[in-house]
Structure 1
Amino acid sequence: MIKCIAIDDEPLALKQITSYINKTPYLDLTASFESPIEALTYLQENTVDLVFVDINMPDLNGLDFVKSLKYPPKIIFTTAYSEYALEGFKVDALDYLLKPIDYATFLKAANKAREWFDLKRNTTEEIKSNNDYLFIKSEYKIVRIKLEDVTYIEGMREYVRIHLINEKPIMTLLSMKAMEAQLASKSFMRVHRSYIVNLNKITTIERNRIVFDKVYIPISEQYKEGFNQFIENNFLS
């Protein structure tokens, strides 16, 4: 079951969204609120997986509500104003429902949430590898990746995106910490909180950035010393 709450300052809209939640078998409504302030108080003492929240509310709008959460659950926004859609996705919302909302539309968003949680529950922080290959879970499959084909790895919150030569990137539900630990001894180096690079694929460094084709990867202060040592050890003079 996916534990969720609903927040909407309009009583009729809140009644509708809670009725949709209650008729969806895999959703468990633990509370509902007309006030986002009350919802904040509730979340200080209770943990939920998913929040359905209206954007346009007095006192504290839905976007600011989500931004105020230190460890936000997954979010599905509801609103009567389509211009808020882009802002909603900027805070990593799972979906955006435009009022009036019918049950079919609601169910599509709920299914997206279920797929996300199923993937998270079925994926562990486990990577199988040797000196030549990396085995990871991606889209319910185990994928073998040749390390020599990896150019860089990009962290994207719960996911990482593995960029490959002449192939589409591969997404997997893993942390950068797990990737770094597995690849540190295999010619890979973390150069930024969001990037791990294949040192063997570096051809150009420009203004403290590694250049892969048209992609510029910054080298942060935290990792600069280690990277500069690598360059010094391999520099021909």
Structure 2
Amino acid sequence: MQAAREIRRQDTHVVIVFITAAPQYAISGYEVQALSYLLKPVPWFAFSQELKRSIAALQRRSADSVLVEAGSNRLRLTFSEIVYAESIRHTIVIHTLGDTISMSGTLKELETQWRGHNFFRSNSCYLVNLRHVNAVEGQECVMSTGERLRISRPRKKAFLSALVNSLGADPQ
């Protein structure tokens, strides 16, 4: 359980399945959001079904999140918590609902990696999560955090079009 707590502390999206002979600990699995709990001896069919279920859960989660390298740390972020990414002097700063994360790279690389997840390049400095745009006022978009980000004139029409299209998309 201690190892599961530490794993969960590091990454909230890891799939955890307990395999044990002690049924009294099954309740503890809820504490770390374990996907399931298998009792030994585990028949091959039950194990293979659980493995398929775990892989499916992982695939669903990975489609809604991204792994970023910030220095020596690797962090998993859900796309829904990313408000925008900003380029500052060859450094990318990812602004989430609760934190900022600095990493090396380019907005162009992020734009390619995050394609299909409702992000749009509003100007040369910002890659905006359209799900967090609350309003467009003049040449700025107002984000869910209250921040105002510049929209370049040449990109404004495409930005507004992408914003309208994102409103009709399935929520993440």
TM, length-normalised to structure 1: 0.42
Cα pair distance change 1:226/1:220, threshold 3 Å: same
Offset, 1:158: 1.4
Aligned position for 1:154: 86
Judge conservation of contact 2:120–2:127 (CA < 8 Å) in 1. yes
Cα pair distance change 1:185/1:232, threshold 3 Å: closer
Matches within 5 A, 1:117-128: none
Structure 2 residue ranges without an equivalent (≥5): 1-60
Out of 137, 140, 163, the residue aligned to residue 209 of structure 1 is 140
Offset, 1:201: 1.2
Offset, 1:133: 0.9
Q: Structure 1 stretches (4+) deviating beyond 2 angstroms?
A: 230-236
Offset, 1:131: 2.3
RMSD across aligned C-alpha pairs, in angstroms? Answer: 2.2
Q: Kindly, what percent of the aligned residue pairs are identical?
A: 22
Out of 114, 124, 130, the residue aligned to residue 199 of structure 1 is 130
Specify the SS of the correspondent of 1:192: coil
How many matched pairs? 107
TM, length-normalised to structure 2: 0.56
Residue type matched to 1:199 in 2?
Answer: L
Aligned position for 1:57: none
How many Å separate the matches in 2 of 1:159 and 1:223? 23
Offset, 1:225: 2.4
* 1:35-54 deviation digits (Å, cap 9, x = unpaired): xxxxxxxxxxxxxxxxxxxx
Judge conservation of contact 2:82–2:94 (CA < 8 Å) in 1. yes
Aligned position for 2:64: 132
Is 2:103 the counterpart of 1:169? Answer: no
Aligned position for 2:48: none
